[in-house]
Structure 1
Amino acid sequence: MGYDVDGSRWISTRLWSLPFLAEAEQVSSLRRALRTHLECWGLQELRDAAELCVSELVANVIKHVGPGTPSTLVVSLNSTHLRIAVHDPDPRALPTLVRAGVEAEAGRGMALIEAVSDRWGVDLSGDRKATWCELRVSAGRVGRHAALPRLARAADLLSLYGGVVSPPLGPGQSRLGTAVARDAAIGIITDLLYWCRVYGRDADDVLDQAQVHFEAETEARFP
């Protein structure tokens, strides 16, 4: 989970995947799904490039592996890049970068991806492969997204302790939801203090160091 662009509510920023059959008719649905996630993540400026990459990655599977191939679209976001990957079950059919002529009607797929993305590649794993590309998140958003891994872990812990799926932090949220999230956070900290005592750690020192790390990170990201 993570904050949205104005920090008022929580949105999902976890890796998400969507199984599909590699057919031309599926491309529009995949583009719509990706568009929705980009809007939730506040990355509308990447929409055109991201949708182009999805189209070309799927077209690559259709052409080189075969129509109807069971595939999966996987999208993730970190502090600097949006990664788009298409997984398929044929590690032998590797994509190649072809410099097609200006009048060519085919063979432009990976060249287009290289042109609009920051980088691309192929990961091989057993009997599968993942062809991926990454789009750079604009500099103005790097600081905001840099804390997402910590926010995601915190959301997971809150959910584990209090059943809080979306911690209500924004205006208009229920007091009950806020209380549940607060109590879950208190429970997490209390358990960590127990852990410090059992394993002979100085709880005050641990809390002090955590505060120092927190202040250093927030000052670096939001000077």
Structure 2
Amino acid sequence: MTSPITRVQPASTGHPAYSQTFPCEPSTAETGRKLVREALGVWHLDDLADVAALITSELIANAVRHTTCRSIRLIVSRPSATRVHVGVVDRAPSRLPVLCRAGDVDESGRGLLLIDGIADRWGYDLRGPHRRPWGKEVWAELLTRGEE
């Protein structure tokens, strides 16, 4: 069961400005989309809401599908006045994201391609000690118009 929506507190920039842990299950995508939209609304960046919500869905879907983690952490931040960062942290550092082309009849496998096409940049960062990471964050960033 996903947790109730928690109000996002305004923050102009900083890392993380918002984060919450959720069960690693498909229903988390809906809650995640709502929370990302609320954060963007607080920052007056509603024009990015649809794209950021789609990115959130894909990042959560990938964590659900490709890891055996019991929980994931959604992070929404503004590392600068011109960037919004959306990331999903899981505890599967050995399951790194790979950008690949799905076949015409494949029913899945297009999530990272979609993110690659709509985000200004995306990637992943391992979490924990260099030799023994405990997890990873797969993230995407969108550029704003620099408005506060």
Same topology, TM > 0.5:
yes
What is the 5 A alignment of 1:171-210? none
SS at match of 2:27: helix
Cα distance between partner residues in 2 of 1:73 and 1:107: 21
Greater RCO (CA < 8 Å, at least 6 residues apart): 2
Ranges in structure 1 where 5+ consecutive residues have no aligned partner: 1-9, 146-223
1:31-70, Cα deviation, whole Å (9 max, x unpaired): 111111111111111111100111010111111103x621
Ranges in structure 2 where 5+ consecutive residues have no aligned partner: 1-8, 128-132
Cα distance between partner residues in 1 of 2:96 and 2:30: 24
Radius of gyration: which is bigger? 1
TM-score (norm 1): 0.56
* Number of residues of Structure 1 aligned to a counterpart in Structure 2: 131
SS at match of 1:83: strand
Structure with more of its chain in strand, by fraction: 2
**Aligned-residue RMSD, C-alpha:** 1.6
Q: Which residue of 2 aligns with 1:135?
A: 142
Q: Which residue of 2 aligns with 1:93?
A: 95
TM-score (norm 2): 0.82
What is the 5 A alignment of 1:1-223? 11-13=10-12, 14=14, 15-66=17-68, 69-77=70-78, 78-125=80-127, 126-138=133-145, 142=146, 144-145=147-148
Structure with more of its chain in helix, by fraction: 1
Percent sequence identity over aligned pairs:
36
Which consecutive segments of 4 or more residues in structure 1 shift more than 2 A? 10-14, 101-104
Is the CA contact 2:39–2:76 (under 8 Å) kept in the aligned structure 1?
Answer: no
